[in-house]
Amino acid sequence: TTGAYLYELTCLSMCVFNDPIHGHMKLHPLLVRIINTPEFQRLRNIKQLGGAYFVYPGASHNRFEHSIGVGYLAGQLATSLKINQPELDISDQDVLCVQIAGLCHDLGHGPFSHLYDGLFISETEPKTKWKHEKASVDMFEYLVENNGLRRVMKEEYGLNTEGENENDLEFIKEMINRTENESVSNVTILAPQYKGRSKEKSFLYDIVSNKETGIDVDKFDYFARDCYHLGFQSNFDHKRFIMFARVCDVDGKKYICSRDKEAANLYDIFHTRHTIHRRACQHRVTKSVEIMIKDALLKANDEIKIEGSEGKLFSLSEAKGDMEAYVKLTDQVVEEISRSTSESLKDAREIIERIMTRKLYWCVGEAKLVSMAFTITMDYGMENTDPISKTYFYKKTKPDRAFKIPKAKVSMLLPEYFSETILRVYWKNPEDGGKEKKKESFNQWCKENNYEVLLYSI
């Protein structure tokens, strides 16, 4: 048949990428077509761990290689389920769509990854609940149209790019930007039903971004990749998870489940995540650098203009709304500020110069509390909920029956709490003197308010 011929031809034209994490990765030619676009190549200039590179010299990796890794792992998991459970009726188009979603899930990140949406946009537009996933969908749409890939997807690779139901483009976009149930005044507002795939294939949505358990191929790649570049140890083996993954039906909904004997290993996922965040992403020097970069971007926000569609000019915070402008916004904006001679960028330039000469904002102290200062939340990815409590398992003897495993049955040594919130106070001008007085004041304040001081200075 034509479909079988196209599939065989596609397999013969697979491209191989050599990756330090996953070894030799075979990628579908359509994925390579997407990679070879300006919109995707932009990710080469966005650091995966933001300001952590200023603390860990090895953390030089970017969103580019992470995205390729996620696309590859998405295909590995989808293909494993397809082979092991033919009754699921997973098609080659399903696998390809899941791969594309994995590849493109981070297209919308701004300069220094989460610094842009987490620190910068939250300050320029405090009432806007903007997330990079929304921009990822916008950038994906722009990439497809700007590079003529809609026709390629349909005519060369058999994807359905038209209509409302079973539309492959809609399916990909839904996987990139998963909608969640929201709670307003203790009333749960259910997320709208997906259109890209039927209820029988709802489990496919959990491969790239699993909102129920947090166990997905996005984390599989960044745990392995981040630990590799940071020099950390990771005990979680994603290959083993993929090998044992199985889809089971629970009350009419299909879930990706794991073997019961893997329960303890799954806790390693979230322990690894917590370690990366505590030791790298939320490291006090990392946050000092990121706050300084954020301040520099705030100073430069209205001074640097980026040309977008129809010749319109956009500020750094506005660019996210126009993909023709946003594709030009990367970590290199810091270099642009540093090289500028404009008087209007003097303040921003001085902040960048301070970073480069290591004259950083000084961390006065750190304590366990919640207040209106700079707070850090470190958790296992599901706030204070035990993530494994939402995970389903199966037994070898009954592979089609899914069940949950209480934490106490896994180990008595597992944590009782799964998140903590701490407060840090940074002093922007420590060169003015008086560090000891600042530390004493912070220590005294904590003592009076019955809070435990965790840290006194850098």
CA atoms within 13 A on the CB side of 73: 35
Interatomic CA distance for residues 49 and 296, integer angstroms:
18
Handedness of CA 250, 273, 229, 233 (dihedral sign): negative
Interatomic CA distance for residues 325 and 305, integer angstroms:
9
At 428, the amino acid letter reads K
For 106, 284, 346, the CA distances from 297, given in Å and listed in that order, are 21, 20, 12
Q: Find the catalytic residue in 132, 229, 277, 283.
A: 132
Interatomic CA distance for residues 94 and 76, integer angstroms:
12
Please indicate whether residue 132 is annotated as part of the active site. yes
303 CB burial (10 A radius; 0-12, 13-18, 19+): middle
247 SS3 class:
strand
Tokens standing for residue 368? 């366990």
Enumerate residues 6+ apart whose C-beta is below 8 A from 427.
361, 362, 363, 364, 435, 438
Tokens standing for residue 308? 């977008």
Tokens standing for residue 326? 């946003």
- Active-site residue set: 132
